[in-house]
């Protein structure tokens, strides 16, 4: 056969060795940040599986310490905490209580694992009786969170996490101006070197469903569409990201991950700051459920999805798969 010359891409795919040599994107253990749900409880043995997220648990501080110890032994370098307080109220008192559940957990983890980076989610939704991410006007029917009044509480929460020893704070509430409010409060309190990772481009996503079971934070009325972004909007995401960098965010996050790879890529092109993405609860649950049914190879899909997030531009990935990934690496 006398064919004209054509590209032989397969030459570089003939063996594992050559494929490894030319691989462009690699997921490293240190790229991943694990998420934990810690519960304020008198039962030190409290460890409750989250139905919609196989392999994930609500944990007492003692159980958290145990679980984190195992993950650190596997090579985990960073994690982020969500708190479930005993009591919720209209002003989210538990969020900025210096003896609140997240504050207790930070102290414990930093004492036991000084080299572990402990980040915290800064938001009020797990602490408000109505489940919204900020303060509401009396009689509110729509979840129209009061922006500027909420900023003070978010700033207080971040400072309280810092005082407990957190290494990074991550506001996820989507109020306008919160990065500036938090940066100012942290600086005033003497935490000039504490980085802020802002959930800058956060969509009003149905992929958060399982998380709301895990964190018991579903809004009792209305939804989050008056503060989280419309899934159809990309340019608006860039606007949000630019605003947060200007306000002082050190790391910018796009959330969810896989359904928003185009947004991740666009932010990567536009901004020269470290970029994070959050592979959210629904993404995790879909992969786990299909794998449990034998419909997909769960480990392979996990690796492929993490690789896709890095390839699109993420420097770091918040993922519930962190421990699974580390176990797989250790094999």
Catalytic residues: 202, 255
Give yes or no for residue 287 binding ligand PBG (CB under 6 A): no
Of the pair 22, 117, the CB lying nearest ligand PBG is at: 117
Distance from C-alpha of 216 to C-alpha of 213, rounded to nearest angstrom: 5
Least distance (Å) between residue 81 CB and ligand PBG: 11
- Which of 95, 241, 280, 287 touches ligand PBG (CB under 6 A)? 280
CA 24 to chain centre: 25
The binding site comprises: 123, 125, 133, 212, 224, 240, 281, 320
Give yes or no for residue 211 binding ligand PBG (CB under 6 A): yes
Q: Which of residues 174-193 bind ligand PBG (CB under 6 A)?
A: none
The bridge status of strand 275-279 relative to strand 251-255 is: parallel
The binding site for 5-aminolevulinate comprises: 212, 224, 281, 320
Q: Please, what is the end-to-end C-alpha distance for the chain in angstroms?
A: 47
Q: Which of residues 123-152 bind ligand PBG (CB under 6 A)?
A: 123, 125, 133
Give yes or no for residue 208 binding ligand PBG (CB under 6 A): yes
Q: Which stretch binds ligand PBG (CB under 6 A): 109-117, 120-128, 179-187, 266-274?
A: 120-128
Size of the site for ligand PBG (CB under 6 A): 10
Give yes or no for residue 281 binding ligand PBG (CB under 6 A): yes
Least distance (Å) between residue 204 CB and ligand PBG: 8
Q: Which of residues 218-257 bind ligand PBG (CB under 6 A)?
A: 224
Of the pair 159, 253, the CB lying nearest ligand PBG is at: 253
Q: Which residue is nearest to ligand PBG (CB)?
A: 211
Of the pair 104, 205, the CB lying nearest ligand PBG is at: 205
Least distance (Å) between residue 144 CB and ligand PBG: 16
- Which of 63, 172, 277, 322 touches ligand PBG (CB under 6 A)? 172
Which residues in this chain contact ligand PBG in the complex, by CB under 6 A? 121, 123, 125, 133, 172, 208, 211, 224, 280-281
């Amino acid at each position: 056969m006398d064919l004209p010359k054509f590209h032989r891409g397969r030459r570089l795919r003939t063996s594992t060795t050559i494929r490894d040599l030319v691989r462009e994107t690699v997921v490293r253990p240190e790229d991943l940040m694990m998420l934990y749900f810690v519960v304020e409880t008198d039962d030190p043995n409290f460890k409750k599986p989250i139905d919609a997220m196989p392999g994930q648990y609500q944990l007492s501080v003692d159980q958290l310490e145990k679980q984190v110890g195992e993950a650190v032994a596997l090579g985990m370098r960073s994690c982020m905490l969500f708190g479930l307080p005993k009591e919720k109220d209209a002003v989210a008192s538990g969020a900025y209580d210096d003896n609140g559940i997240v504050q207790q957990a930070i102290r414990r983890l930093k004492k036991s694992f000084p080299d572990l980076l402990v980040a915290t989610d800064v938001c009020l939704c797990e602490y408000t009786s109505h489940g919204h991410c900020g303060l509401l006007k009396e009689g509110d029917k729509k979840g129209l969170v009061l922006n500027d009044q909420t900023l003070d509480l978010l700033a207080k929460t971040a400072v309280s996490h810092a005082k407990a020893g957190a290494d990074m704070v991550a506001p996820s509430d989507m109020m306008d101006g919160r990065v500036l409010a938090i940066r100012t409060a942290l600086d005033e309190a003497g935490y000039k070197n504490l980085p802020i990772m802002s959930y800058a481009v956060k969509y009003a996503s149905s992929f958060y469903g399982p998380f709301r079971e895990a964190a018991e934070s579903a809004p009792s009325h209305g939804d989050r569409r008056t503060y989280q972004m419309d899934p159809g909007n990309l340019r608006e995401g860039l606007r949000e990201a630019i605003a947060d960098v200007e306000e002082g965010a050190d790391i910018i996050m796009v959330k969810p991950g896989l359904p928003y790879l185009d947004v991740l890529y666009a932010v990567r092109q536009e901004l020269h700051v470290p970029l994070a993405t959050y592979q959210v609860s629904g993404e995790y649950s879909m992969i786990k459920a299909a794998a449990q049914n034998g419909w997909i190879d769960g480990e392979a899909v996990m690796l492929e999805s993490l690789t896709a997030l890095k390839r699109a531009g993420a420097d770091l990935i918040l993922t519930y798969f962190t421990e699974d990934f580390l176990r797989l690496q250790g094999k």
